[in-house]
Amino acid sequence: MADFRGQQLRRSFLPSMGFFIICLIALMFGLTNYCQLSTNAQDEVTRYYTWFIHVEIMVFVGFGLLMTFLRRYSLGAVMLNFLGSCLIFLVAILIVGAAQQVPAFALNQYIVIKQFHILDMGGSNVIHLFGCY
Protein backbone atom coordinates (compact mmCIF):
# COMPACT_ATOMS: atom_id res chain seq x y z
CA MET A 1 0.00 0.00 0.00
CA ALA A 2 2.77 2.45 0.90
CA ASP A 3 4.68 1.51 -2.27
CA PHE A 4 1.62 2.35 -4.40
CA ARG A 5 1.33 5.77 -2.74
CA GLY A 6 5.02 6.45 -3.39
CA GLN A 7 4.66 5.57 -7.07
CA GLN A 8 1.57 7.75 -7.33
CA LEU A 9 3.43 10.70 -5.78
CA ARG A 10 6.40 10.18 -8.11
CA ARG A 11 4.11 10.17 -11.16
CA SER A 12 2.14 13.25 -10.17
CA PHE A 13 4.96 15.42 -8.75
CA LEU A 14 6.69 16.41 -11.99
CA PRO A 15 3.55 17.45 -13.92
CA SER A 16 2.18 19.39 -10.96
CA MET A 17 5.52 21.13 -10.37
CA GLY A 18 5.78 21.93 -14.08
CA PHE A 19 2.27 23.39 -14.05
CA PHE A 20 3.14 25.48 -10.96
CA ILE A 21 6.31 26.85 -12.61
CA ILE A 22 4.45 27.68 -15.83
CA CYS A 23 1.76 29.52 -13.82
CA LEU A 24 4.43 31.40 -11.86
CA ILE A 25 6.24 32.45 -15.03
CA ALA A 26 2.96 33.53 -16.67
CA LEU A 27 2.03 35.54 -13.57
CA MET A 28 5.39 37.28 -13.42
CA PHE A 29 5.29 37.92 -17.17
CA GLY A 30 1.90 39.56 -16.78
CA LEU A 31 3.02 41.71 -13.83
CA THR A 32 6.22 42.95 -15.47
CA ASN A 33 6.19 46.65 -16.31
CA TYR A 34 8.12 47.47 -19.47
CA CYS A 35 9.54 50.95 -19.99
CA GLN A 36 10.80 52.84 -23.00
CA LEU A 37 14.45 52.41 -23.90
CA SER A 38 16.63 55.46 -23.51
CA THR A 39 18.87 56.85 -26.21
CA ASN A 40 21.96 55.20 -24.75
CA ALA A 41 20.33 51.78 -24.33
CA GLN A 42 22.97 50.07 -26.47
CA ASP A 43 25.74 51.48 -24.27
CA GLU A 44 24.02 50.17 -21.13
CA VAL A 45 23.54 46.73 -22.68
CA THR A 46 27.19 46.60 -23.71
CA ARG A 47 28.31 47.69 -20.24
CA TYR A 48 26.26 45.15 -18.30
CA TYR A 49 26.54 42.30 -20.80
CA THR A 50 30.14 41.45 -19.92
CA TRP A 51 29.30 41.20 -16.21
CA PHE A 52 26.26 39.07 -17.02
CA ILE A 53 28.39 36.71 -19.09
CA HIS A 54 30.86 36.35 -16.21
CA VAL A 55 28.05 35.44 -13.81
CA GLU A 56 26.67 32.91 -16.29
CA ILE A 57 30.07 31.29 -16.72
CA MET A 58 30.44 31.05 -12.95
CA VAL A 59 27.00 29.47 -12.51
CA PHE A 60 26.96 27.05 -15.43
CA VAL A 61 30.60 26.09 -15.86
CA GLY A 62 31.81 26.54 -12.29
CA PHE A 63 29.00 24.87 -10.40
CA GLY A 64 28.32 22.41 -13.22
CA LEU A 65 31.88 21.14 -13.30
CA LEU A 66 32.03 21.11 -9.52
CA MET A 67 29.07 18.74 -9.50
CA THR A 68 30.82 16.29 -11.84
CA PHE A 69 33.13 15.26 -9.03
CA LEU A 70 30.26 13.66 -7.15
CA ARG A 71 30.86 9.94 -7.54
CA ARG A 72 27.40 8.49 -7.94
CA TYR A 73 25.16 11.38 -8.99
CA SER A 74 27.48 13.38 -11.24
CA LEU A 75 25.35 13.50 -14.40
CA GLY A 76 22.11 13.99 -12.47
CA ALA A 77 23.65 16.77 -10.42
CA VAL A 78 24.91 18.55 -13.53
CA MET A 79 21.48 18.24 -15.15
CA LEU A 80 19.74 19.60 -12.06
CA ASN A 81 22.27 22.45 -11.89
CA PHE A 82 21.58 23.42 -15.50
CA LEU A 83 17.82 23.08 -15.13
CA GLY A 84 17.70 25.01 -11.86
CA SER A 85 20.00 27.74 -13.15
CA CYS A 86 17.95 28.26 -16.31
CA LEU A 87 14.70 28.46 -14.36
CA ILE A 88 16.17 30.80 -11.76
CA PHE A 89 17.61 33.12 -14.42
CA LEU A 90 14.25 33.27 -16.19
CA VAL A 91 12.21 33.79 -13.04
CA ALA A 92 14.72 36.34 -11.70
CA ILE A 93 14.43 38.43 -14.85
CA LEU A 94 10.65 38.42 -14.56
CA ILE A 95 10.56 38.99 -10.80
CA VAL A 96 12.86 42.02 -11.00
CA GLY A 97 10.32 43.65 -13.30
CA ALA A 98 7.50 42.87 -10.89
CA ALA A 99 9.46 43.67 -7.72
CA GLN A 100 10.29 47.16 -8.98
CA GLN A 101 6.63 48.01 -8.28
CA VAL A 102 6.92 47.18 -4.58
CA PRO A 103 7.58 50.45 -2.71
CA ALA A 104 9.78 48.98 0.06
CA PHE A 105 12.02 47.16 -2.41
CA ALA A 106 12.22 50.23 -4.67
CA LEU A 107 13.13 52.45 -1.70
CA ASN A 108 15.78 49.97 -0.56
CA GLN A 109 17.20 49.77 -4.07
CA TYR A 110 17.30 53.57 -4.31
CA ILE A 111 19.14 53.88 -0.99
CA VAL A 112 21.69 51.18 -1.82
CA ILE A 113 22.46 52.26 -5.39
CA LYS A 114 21.88 56.02 -5.43
CA GLN A 115 22.72 57.11 -1.88
CA PHE A 116 25.47 54.65 -0.91
CA HIS A 117 26.78 54.33 -4.51
CA ILE A 118 27.18 50.57 -4.18
CA LEU A 119 27.91 48.77 -7.45
CA ASP A 120 25.49 45.85 -7.31
CA MET A 121 25.73 43.73 -10.45
CA GLY A 122 23.46 40.81 -9.65
CA GLY A 123 21.27 42.60 -7.15
CA SER A 124 22.56 40.45 -4.31
CA ASN A 125 23.37 43.37 -2.01
CA VAL A 126 19.90 44.86 -2.48
CA ILE A 127 18.19 41.49 -1.90
CA HIS A 128 20.22 40.69 1.21
CA LEU A 129 19.74 44.15 2.70
CA PHE A 130 16.03 43.97 1.90
CA GLY A 131 15.87 40.59 3.68
CA CYS A 132 17.60 42.08 6.73
CA TYR A 133 14.76 44.55 7.23
Which DSSP string corresponds to 32-93?
-------TTHHHHHHHHHHHHHHHHHIIIIIIHHHHTT-SSSHHHHHHHHHHHHHHHHHHHH
Best CA proximity match to 113, nearest among 92, 127, 93: 127
Instruction: Note whether 57 and 32 are within 8 A (CB).
Output: no
- What is the distance between the alpha carbons of residues 65 and 57, in angstroms, rounded to a whole number? 11
Tens digit of each residue's pLDDT (9 = 90 or more) over 13-37: 888 888 988 888 888 778 777 777 7
- What is the distance between the alpha carbons of residues 99 and 103, in angstroms, rounded to a whole number? 9
How confident is residue 130, by pLDDT bands cut at 50, 70 and 90? low
Tens digit of each residue's pLDDT (9 = 90 or more) over 103-116: 777 777 788 888 88
Q: Is the pTM above the cut of 0.75?
A: no
